[in-house]
A and B are shown apart, each in its own frame.
Chain A
Amino acid sequence: MAQVPNKVAFPKDGAKTYSLVELVKGAPTVMVEKGPDNTVFSFPVVALLELLLVLGVSALLLLMSLARNAPLEEFANPTLTTDPAKAPWYFMGLQEMLEHGHPTLMAVVLPTVMVLFVMAIPYLDNDRRGSGRWFTSPRGRKLTWNTTLYALLAMPAFILLDNAFPPRELLRGMAPDFIAQFAIPAVVMGLIVAAPVLALRRQRPTMREVMLVLFTMLFVSAIVFTVTGFFFRGPGFRLYWPWDMPGGYSPFDNL
């Protein structure tokens, strides 16, 4: 064991009845100047709240199960392709993206970038202030709703325009596949996502506000693509109104 240096900042004085035992760094553990204690005993409040949630969720699920049966089609037949052939609904956003660019870009690069970005959010925005409050500030709330509105306009516009004027068809034979299917969609989607961040630059946004914009772009776009793929894609994976699908196909058959 290492020797404790003899010279101490607060020497023990035999004439005194007190001595400095330890220096505590950080906030005091006593509740001095911390405001009134705003806590309740977890039991029974939390136990009752959780019991209520158990009953509520079970009732909801039971009602759903009584209202509608799980789908079951014919025995799997590898030689008979269904039209349209759709992935489970939560992957329909991915399948919709595949319609708008090179598979490696849409099914591999962009999803990987999205997951890594979402995981990196707390390391990009590591300011402790503003945690535990919805949208952190009134300005954050306004930014979130404006971005939502923008994404709800920009992403459907991108889907419809790309569907009407697909670069891979228009540029066939004129430009290599890499340009038409990889570079162009990547640049266009990148610009759509970056535009609100660039527009925000003059207002000197905090990192939290940049994250609010980027996550909202990602979240709302994911919903737009999922809804488009699930509700608006019919036979031949072409766009139709959900209530006007040919051949008696209903998007809900795919749940």
Chain B
Amino acid sequence: MPTWIESITRSRLWRSFFRHGWPDNPLDRSLVMTSNIFFHLHPVKMNRKSLRVTYSFGLGVMVVIVFGILSLTGLLLMFYYTPAIEHAYSNVVRLQTQVPFGQLLRNLHRWGAHLMVILVVLHMARVFYTGAYKPPREFNWVVGVVLLLLTLGASFTGYLLPWDQLAYWAITVGTSVAGYAPLVGSQARLFLLGGPEIGQEALTRFYALHVMLIPAAIVLVTSLHLWRVRKDGGLAANDAD
């Protein structure tokens, strides 16, 4: 190791950040994974079988990445958006026409949302067709189905926010489905929309669900999902003979 790297990694400043030395030996490569908050989700060593691209296609990791991009772009969009029916639409128009890279920001969020739904579905198909739901991973499969529903919920609640014709009628059609449920149908629709029609109450509720409740649920349930992957022995490819 060059001496200048050594002098950095041995400094008190470096050692206050990182609890490990330069990762060029087995011990420090282990410590990187166990002492780093981003890496500690991963095992120290991984089976080559689970790293094969044609086994998992990296779909689950890609979902996490797209969710990260959506959180970031969503946060930036919040700086320009007011969830009020008299402002929402003009906010979006202003974002697209006057804010630098505003249109690009909205495009990233929109196409990212569609991409996430597609990736989640593909991930589920991959897990099913590789038989990775089998014991001891059966509960994590159920957690995954919950995450699929949360993803659809996140996308659906975001769909109303631009408050244009497309948003209004898509949510009208989508929420009318809830009304078809026997006994509780009309109550469920009323609970979701905060009134008989889609108006300010519906926008307020969808906004709160979209920027807070559903993303928080996704973060929590995803943590459980990833933790269970580790606890259940990593990818199922490890168990295959």
- A interface with B by C-beta (< 8 Å): 38-47, 49-50, 53-54, 57-58, 60-62, 64-66, 68-78, 80-82, 85-91, 94-95, 98, 103-104, 107-108, 115, 118-119, 121-123, 125-128, 130-136, 144, 208, 212, 215, 219, 253-255
Contacts and interface: CB of A to CB of B under 8 A. Distances in A.
8 contacts: A40-B46, A43-B32, A44-B29, A88-B156, A91-B156, A108-B185, A118-B145, A131-B236
Decide if the interface of chain B is mainly helix, strand, loop or mixed: helix
B29 A75 contact: no
B221 interface: no
Interface centre among B168, B172, B235, B239 (most CB of A within 10 A): B168
A61 B62 CA distance: 12
A198 B62 CA distance: 38
A119 B145 contact: yes
A87 B29 contact: no
B114 A255 contact: yes
Decide if the interface of chain A is mainly helix, strand, loop or mixed: helix
Interface in B90-133: 92-93, 96, 103-104, 106-112, 114-115, 117, 125, 128-133
A86 B173 contact: yes
Contact of A41 (B45, B137, B164): B45
Interface stretch (B11-19, B174-182, B204-212): B174-182
Contacts of A136: 131
Interface in B31-48: 32-33, 39, 42-48
B8 interface: no
B65 interface: yes
Given A88-B155, A121-B133, A82 B169 contact: yes
A64 B107 contact: yes
A229 B164 CA distance: 21
A70 B48 contact: no
A76 B163 contact: yes
B197 interface: yes
B156 A46 contact: no
Nearest to B120: A90
Contacts of B109: 70
A59 to B, nearest CB: 11
Given A40-B51, A121-B128, 7 more contacts: A40-B48, A54-B65, A57-B66, A78-B197, A107-B181, A128-B239, A131-B134
B114 A89 contact: yes
A221 to B, nearest CB: 13
A122 B145 CA distance: 12
A115 B239 CA distance: 28
A77 B168 contact: yes
Contacts of B238: 132
Interface centre among B152, B156, B165, B239 (most CB of A within 10 A): B165
Contact of B164 (A50, A68, A72): A72
A83 to B, nearest CB: 9
B167 A132 contact: no
B165 A82 contact: yes
Interface in B223-241: 235-240
Contacts of B45: 39-42
A254 B173 CA distance: 13
B98 to A, nearest CB: 14
A61 to B, nearest CB: 6
B75 interface: no
Contact of B168 (A47, A78, A130): A78
B107 A65 contact: yes
Contacts of B66: 57, 61
A119 B43 CA distance: 27
Contacts of A118: 145
B76 interface: no
A88 B129 CA distance: 27
B30 interface: yes
B214 interface: no
A124 B69 CA distance: 37
